[in-house]
Amino acid sequence: MNQTLEFFASRGYGVFPYIIIREMSGMYRQIPIHFSLQELLEREGVLVNLYDEEGDDTTKEKCLSILRSIIKSEPVITIKRNTKENWIFSGVRKIEGCVVFSPKRAIYLDSGGNIKSESESIPCGGSLISLCGETIITNSQHYNLLPLELR
């Protein structure tokens, strides 16, 4: 099923913060992060529970915690559209990824869930795929998917 960039943007893709899982060389899976159950139910991605009084450090830690759970194959609250396509990674494959907080900030975790690096360089290019395995965009940035006039 081919979807438009508008469709993916409406589902929460391309909005900071988000998770990137490196599936293989040149292929990245984006997982939108949502901070309320209502937002998650209307879109697609994972839930990070936040309370009003929590600041940036707590948000960062909770986002990293969700990525650690995904890396370790632990359950997380996830919503995705009904599709026959599933996660590409399976078996004993070592999963690595990052939480992208802005165009110049990402925190990378290794396959053990440990911080590998904090970087001003974020993943871009290659093939960006959705939770359902659909190609979102190729050889472009992974955020702000729509042109300014459509945002």
* Overall number of domains in the chain: 1
The pLDDT score that the predictor gives to residue 137 is 94
Look at residue 149 and tell me if it is in a domain.
Answer: no
84-127 pLDDT, tens digit per residue, is 544 444 445 688 999 999 999 999 999 999 999 999 999 999 99
pLDDT value of residue 86: 45
Tell me if 150 is assigned to some domain. no
147 burial via Cβ count (<10 Å: 0-12, 13-18, 19+): exposed
Asked if the structure places residue 23 within a domain, the reply is yes
Q: So what's the pLDDT on residue 145? A: 83
If you average pLDDT over residues 57-71, what whole number do you get? 94
pLDDT greater than 90 at residue 40: no
For residue 61, the enclosing domain spans: 5-142
Residue 147 in any domain: the answer is: no
Does 148 fall in a domain?
no
In a domain, 151, yes or no: no
Q: Find, among 1, 40, 7, 25, the residue nearest to 145 by Cα.
A: 7
Q: Structure pTM?
A: 0.87
pLDDT tens for 74-93 read 888 887 776 554 444 444 56
Contact 108, 115 (CB under 8 A): yes
* Residue 74, Cβ density class (10 Å: 0-12 exposed, 13-18 middle, ≥19 buried): exposed
